[in-house]
């Protein structure tokens, strides 16, 4: 666990009618928050929280050789939640006035039906949060004129890299977010959450055939994220991942050994175990992992974590969206299931401490247990040894998406680039193939784990119950002894 200074200080130095923290600029005061929380608990709710959010996003797009489109978004709003046992009442509004807040609180309060509960007289701001995404310059200070040359340069370099490239699309997104969470224990937590993402997509043409692919990088970081090395990699990878497709074949259909390359192959963990370990599904008994805590589910060299603390990662958070500490959570230790990923509701249900996995897309949504950065720790095998061990199989490198049925345990991930493995060697490139397995079975079949862990730098987004949150994933090179490869022919 990451250590945190939990020393508290009064919410305001200047009295309760002054604005509070970042949201003072919108007229939010400690008194308003206290009144909202009191109203929220007026009908017997056990816990209430208020979630303020201000998120400003800016996108620049390049198409057909010019940066000729910009998108700007502002999200400002507040959500009020009341919890009683496993039950949740939720209301939200874009209007940060006291009457609107109280209306939300009354809506949320209706989940309970009992006597009013008191809230503490004074609220306290949590101090000493970790600083996992320090910025040299906030995005608000970066003028479009500074970003434009970056896109123009990448466009030129992508075209120059290979004469088969006919179209280049680029998107650069940056985001400045602020959240404030206040709850009925009297705690106030504030966080500033930057995010940036760069996407380069190319279309190549040769001998009447076309292929398209791309590369993207993302992180909770500032403009300095785009180092020369990173930009080199963006161009190199986008072009290589596309042009190799001209030589790629479709693998055969059926069961075979699957070797997952270090990095974005962490999608295996996200789908095969991560979702199934989200505690809401287990609280409801609908996950294939329900009742499996403390049981051996993988080889003793398999260690899986979900980590909020990878500095600068897209899935990093200083605090979760319920105001709880967020550190490194060990899902699997020495092959044994250790803990689910909890939000406050499930933690109370199971009688454990929250793990800092209570996350939400925005103020329009109540929090749910969600992943952050999910990866497997290095294991005892060597990458060459793993590839050499496979007579006929597939080596998966890059992915576009995945999905899981939580209860049945079936999951998939879609491979954009990979290779056939024939007699212990990578031979022909493969493309566009879906791989399907069953979560616990696939983990059981992870029989080799290399020492080359890499956390992917890509812009992954996880969807659940209609809510999207940014996540990261990683993996060392891993062999799964058998999965179904959705190819064609034999």
Partner 1 sequence: MSDLLDITRRAAALAREKGATDASAGSYRARHVEVAWRDGKVEKVSEATTRGLGLDLYVDGRYAAVSTSDLRPDALDRFVEDAVALARTLAPDPHRRLPEPELYRGQANVDLQLEDPDYGKVDATRRRAEAEAIEAAARGVPGASAILSVTTSVSDTRSESALVQTNGFEGERRGTDFWIGAEVTVLDPDGRRPEEYAASGGRFRSAMEAPEAIGRRAAERAIARIGTRKGESAVLTMALDNRASGRMVGMLFGPLAAAAIQQKRSFLEGKIGVQLGSPLLTVKDDPLVPRGLGSRLYDGEGIAARPFPVFEEGVLRSYYVDTYYGRKLGLPPTTSRSSNLAWALGGRSQAQLLTDLGEGVLVTGFLGGNSNGTTGDFSLGVRGFRVRGGRLAEPVGEMNVSGNHLELWKRLAAVGDDPYPYSAMRTPTLVFEAVQFAGT
Q: Which of residues 450-469 bind partner 1 (CB under 8 A)?
A: none
Q: CA-to-CA distance for 347 and 367, rounded, in angstroms?
A: 13
Interaction between residue 6 and partner 1 (CB under 8 A): no
Q: CA-to-CA distance for 467 and 295, rounded, in angstroms?
A: 31
Question: For partner 1, which residue of 1, 24, 110, 311 counts as binding (CB under 8 A)?
Answer: 110
Question: For partner 1, which residue of 3, 13, 14, 72 counts as binding (CB under 8 A)?
Answer: 72
Question: For partner 1, which residue of 69, 391, 392, 425 counts as binding (CB under 8 A)?
Answer: 69
Q: How far is the CB of 73 from partner 1 (least distance, A)?
A: 5
Question: For partner 1, which residue of 1, 15, 71, 134 counts as binding (CB under 8 A)?
Answer: 71
Candidates 67-75, 215-223, 227-235, 382-390; binding stretch for partner 1 (CB under 8 A)? 67-75
Site string for partner 1, 200-239 (x = CB under 8 A): ---x-x---xxxx---------------------------
Closest CB to partner 1 among residues 253, 426:
253
Q: CA-to-CA distance for 104 and 340, rounded, in angstroms?
A: 31
Three-state SS at 219: strand
Q: How far is the CB of 243 from partner 1 (least distance, A)?
A: 13
Question: For partner 1, which residue of 73, 427, 461, 468 counts as binding (CB under 8 A)?
Answer: 73
Q: How far is the CB of 466 from partner 1 (least distance, A)?
A: 10
Q: How far is the CB of 145 from partner 1 (least distance, A)?
A: 6
Characterize 28-38 residue by residue with b for buried, 16 or more Cβ atoms within 10 angstroms of its Cβ, and e for exposed.
bbbbbbbbbbb
Q: How far is the CB of 368 from partner 1 (least distance, A)?
A: 10
Q: Which of residues 275-334 bind partner 1 (CB under 8 A)?
A: 284-288, 290
Q: How far is the CB of 275 from partner 1 (least distance, A)?
A: 12
Bridge partners of residue 59, in order along the sequence: 71, 173
Q: Which of residues 164-203 bind partner 1 (CB under 8 A)?
A: 166-167, 169, 203
Question: For partner 1, which residue of 7, 121, 136, 145 counts as binding (CB under 8 A)?
Answer: 145
Interaction between residue 402 and partner 1 (CB under 8 A): yes
Token couple for 269: 């963990």
Interaction between residue 28 and partner 1 (CB under 8 A): no
Interaction between residue 481 and partner 1 (CB under 8 A): no
Q: CA-to-CA distance for 432 and 414, rounded, in angstroms?
A: 7
Token couple for 9: 């200080």
Q: CA-to-CA distance for 156 and 86, rounded, in angstroms?
A: 55
Q: How far is the CB of 16 from partner 1 (least distance, A)?
A: 23
Q: How far is the CB of 294 from partner 1 (least distance, A)?
A: 16
Q: Which of residues 336-365 bind partner 1 (CB under 8 A)?
A: 364
Q: What is the DSSP letter of 140?
A: G
Token couple for 245: 């497709």
Q: How far is the CB of 82 from partner 1 (least distance, A)?
A: 9
Q: How far is the CB of 103 from partner 1 (least distance, A)?
A: 9
Q: Which of residues 44-63 bind partner 1 (CB under 8 A)?
A: 54, 58, 60, 63
Q: Which of residues 125-144 bind partner 1 (CB under 8 A)?
A: 143-144
Name the phi and psi angles at 335, rounded to 5: 85, 0
Q: CA-to-CA distance for 160 and 147, rounded, in angstroms?
A: 21
Interaction between residue 257 and partner 1 (CB under 8 A): no
Characterize 79-96 residue by residue with b for buried, 16 or more Cβ atoms within 10 angstroms of its Cβ, and e for exposed.
bbbbbbeeebbbbbbeeb
Interaction between residue 269 and partner 1 (CB under 8 A): no
Q: CA-to-CA distance for 110 and 84, rounded, in angstroms?
A: 10
Bridge partners of residue 418, in order along the sequence: 396, 430
Question: For partner 1, which residue of 7, 14, 74, 115 counts as binding (CB under 8 A)?
Answer: 74
Closest CB to partner 1 among residues 185, 434:
434
Q: CA-to-CA distance for 81 and 360, rounded, in angstroms?
A: 12
Candidates 44-52, 302-310, 432-440, 468-476; binding stretch for partner 1 (CB under 8 A)? 432-440
Interaction between residue 111 and partner 1 (CB under 8 A): yes
Token couple for 334: 């020495």
DSSP annotation string for 240-300: HHHHGGGG-BPPPEEEEEEEE-TTGGGHHHIIIIIGGGBHHHHHTT-STTTT-TTSB-S-T
Q: CA-to-CA distance for 106 and 40, rounded, in angstroms?
A: 6
Characterize 436-474 residue by residue with b for buried, 16 or more Cβ atoms within 10 angstroms of its Cβ, and e for exposed.
ebbbbbbbbbbbbbbebbbbbbbbbebebeebebbbbbb
């Amino acid at each position: 666990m990451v250590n945190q200074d939990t020393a508290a200080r009064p919410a305001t130095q200047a009295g309760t009618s002054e604005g509070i923290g970042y949201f003072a600029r919108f007229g939010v005061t400690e008194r308003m928050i206290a009144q909202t929380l009191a109203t929220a608990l007026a009908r017997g709710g056990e816990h209430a929280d208020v979630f303020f959010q201000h998120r400003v996003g800016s996108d620049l797009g390049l198409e057909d050789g010019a940066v000729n489109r910009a998108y700007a978004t502002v999200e400002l709003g507040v959500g009020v939640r009341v919890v009683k046992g496993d039950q949740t009442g939720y209301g939200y509004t874009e209007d940060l006035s006291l009457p609107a807040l109280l209306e939300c609180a009354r809506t949320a309060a209706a989940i309970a039906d009992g006597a009013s509960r008191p809230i503490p007289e004074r609220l306290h701001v949590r101090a000493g949060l970790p600083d996992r995404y320090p910025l040299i310059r906030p995005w608000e200070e970066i003028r479009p004129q500074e970003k434009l040359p970056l896109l123009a340069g990448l466009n030129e370099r992508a075209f120059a890299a290979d004469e088969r490239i006919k179209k280049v699309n680029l998107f650069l997104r940056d985001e400045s977010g602020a959240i404030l969470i206040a709850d009925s224990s009297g705690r106030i937590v504030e966080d500033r959450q930057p995010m940036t993402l760069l996407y380069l997509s190319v279309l190549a043409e040769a001998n009447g055939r076309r292929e398209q692919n791309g590369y993207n990088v993302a992180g909770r970081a500032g403009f300095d994220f785009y180092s020369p090395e990173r930009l080199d990699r963006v161009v190199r990878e986008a072009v290589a991942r596309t042009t190799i497709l001209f030589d790629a074949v479709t693998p055969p259909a059926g069961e075979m050994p699957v070797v997952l390359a270090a990095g974005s192959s962490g999608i295996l963990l996200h789908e095969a175990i991560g979702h199934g370990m989200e505690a809401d599904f287990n609280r409801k008994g609908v996950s294939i992992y329900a009742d499996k805590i403390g049981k051996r589910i993988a080889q003793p060299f398999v260690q899986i974590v979900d980590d909020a603390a990878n500095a600068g990662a897209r899935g990093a958070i200083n605090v979760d969206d319920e105001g709880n500490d967020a550190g490194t959570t060990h899902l699997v230790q020495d092959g044994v299931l250790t803990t689910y990923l909890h939000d406050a509701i499930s933690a109370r249900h199971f009688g454990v401490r929250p793990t800092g996995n209570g996350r939400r897309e925005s103020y329009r949504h109540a929090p749910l247990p969600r992943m952050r950065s999910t990866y497997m720790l290095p294991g005892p095998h060597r990458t060459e040894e793993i590839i050499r061990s496979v007579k006929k199989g597939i080596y998966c490198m890059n992915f576009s998406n995945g999905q899981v049925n939580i209860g049945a345990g079936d999951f998939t991930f879609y491979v954009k680039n990979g290779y056939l493995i024939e007699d212990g060697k990578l031979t022909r490139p493969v493309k566009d193939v879906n791989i399907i397995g069953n979560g616990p079975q696939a983990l059981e079949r992870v029989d080799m784990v290399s020492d080359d862990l890499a956390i992917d730098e890509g812009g992954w987004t996880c969807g659940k119950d209609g809510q999207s949150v940014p996540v990261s994933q990683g993996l060392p090179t891993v062999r799964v002894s058998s999965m179904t490869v959705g190819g064609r022919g034999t």
